[in-house]
């Protein structure tokens, strides 16, 4: 367990450093957007491209793994929406709560952390989950969020907006380009690969620091605009579902699928279970704010899962590794 904590501690420590820097205004809040831009449009796409290009194409296009992850995501969304709905939480808030329950922080945290723990082979299944969550899970939850008083075109328009956002997101395209490079056995010329490598090496530390800063900013903005903190019952169960139910669901369904004869690689199942054990994706707070959901509630879920995951994720690694 101590060996695992030695690997996971620096990752969570960088998140804490970013959080403290933003809370104490050592990092101006206006600068967080610049950090996010650097990670999202430069460093992280290069990291995902490099991992994709060095991963066998069969791992990136594993139908059994795709089916398992998508099924678990849909079950998490359905279960969270149903259990969250009450007089205070309607479709908009319930849908974004479901998104943080089903969407792990795989890009910013999961890929580099899992590679450090399990080796480069872990990148393939992790990258596969990113593509599904960005295109399908996010689009579904955004469409569901429009059901509050939506007209007959509300949900479909929201889905189109979500798909357009996914199309403009550089991360899926980096994954596609990496997969094409892997399939064709073609790489850019060495000076270009060296530039990609420099940006890829910067992705992990800057992304982790940015996660903490984004969480602090979301919490601060939410505190300024909300008229009372959400009740713990409105966000703690979702955090528990993310950190406990999601990995158990992936592991349980994956084990049943293997017994039923589905050609699911045991290593891929381990990687996806650990991906599910990651904290919630930090970008959901910004998405919730954009669609006028309760961003304070979403920020609390993300912050709680990020803090507690230091223990729960490390425990999951100890049990599965």
Q: What is the CATH number of the domain that holds 80?
A: 1.20.1530.20
Q: At what angle do helices 91-102 and 63-84 cross, to 10 degrees?
A: 140
CB 159 within 8 A of CB 142: yes
150 three-state secondary structure: coil
In order along its 321 residues, the chain shows pLDDT tens digits of 777 888 899 999 999 999 999 999 999 999 988 998 898 889 989 998 998 898 888 778 899 999 999 999 999 999 999 999 888 888 989 999 999 999 999 988 999 999 999 998 999 999 999 989 988 898 888 888 878 765 445 556 666 666 666 677 788 888 889 989 988 888 899 999 999 999 999 988 998 999 899 888 877 876 666 655 667 888 899 999 999 999 999 999 999 999 999 999 999 999 999 999 999 998 787 778 777 788 788 888 998 999 999 999 999 999 997
Termini Cα distance of the chain = 10
Q: Which residues, other chains included, contact 98 with Cβ-Cβ below 8 Å and sequence gap of 6+?
A: 76, 77, 78, 80, 81, 84, 141, 144
CA gap 247, 258 in Å, rounded:
16
CB 65 within 8 A of CB 272: yes
Residue-wise over 228-243: b if at least 16 C-beta within 10 A, else e? eebeeebbebbbbbbb
Query: What are the CA-CA distances from residue 70 to residues 91, 94, 97, 285 (Å)?
Result: 21, 19, 18, 22
CA gap 168, 8 in Å, rounded:
32
Count of structural domains within the chain: 1
Domain interval for residue 254: 2-320
What is residue 192's predicted lDDT score, i.e. its pLDDT?
94
CB 15 within 8 A of CB 208: yes
């Amino acid at each position: 367990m101590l060996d695992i904590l030695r690997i996971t501690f620096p990752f969570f420590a960088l998140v804490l450093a970013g959080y403290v820097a933003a809370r104490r205004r050592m990092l101006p809040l206006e600068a967080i957007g610049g950090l996010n831009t650097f990670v999202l449009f430069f460093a992280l796409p290069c990291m995902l491209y490099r991992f994709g290009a060095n991963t066998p194409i069969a791992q990136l296009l594993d139908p059994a793994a795709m089916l398992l992850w998508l099924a678990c995501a849909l079950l998490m969304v359905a279960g969270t929406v149903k259990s969250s709905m009450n007089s205070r939480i309607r479709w908009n808030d319930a849908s974004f709560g479901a998104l943080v329950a089903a969407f792990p922080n795989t890009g910013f945290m999961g890929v580099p952390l899992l590679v450090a723990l399990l080796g480069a082979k872990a990148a393939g299944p992790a990258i596969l989950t990113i593509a599904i969550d960005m295109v399908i899970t996010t689009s579904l939850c955004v469409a569901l969020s429009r059901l509050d008083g939506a007209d007959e075109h509300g949900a479909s328009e929201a889905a189109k907006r979500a798909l357009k956002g996914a199309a403009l997101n550089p991360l899926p395209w980096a994954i596609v380009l990496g997969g094409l490079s892997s399939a064709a056995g073609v790489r850019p010329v060495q000076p270009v690969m060296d530039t990609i490598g420099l940006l890829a090496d910067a992705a992990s530390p800057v992304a982790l620091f940015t996660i903490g800063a984004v969480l602090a900013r979301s919490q601060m903005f939410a505190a300024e605009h909300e008229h009372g903190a959400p009740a713990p019952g409105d966000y703690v169960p979702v955090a528990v579902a993310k950190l406990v139910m999601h990995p158990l669901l992936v592991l349980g369904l994956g084990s049943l699928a293997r017994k039923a004869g589905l050609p699911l690689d045991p290593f891929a199942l381990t990687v996806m279970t650990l991906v599910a054990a990651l904290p919630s994706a930090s970008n959901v707070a910004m998405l919730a704010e954009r669609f006028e959901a309760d961003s304070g509630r979403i920020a609390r879920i993300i912050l709680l899962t990020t803090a507690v995951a230091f223990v729960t994720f490390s425990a999951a690694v100890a049990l599965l590794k």
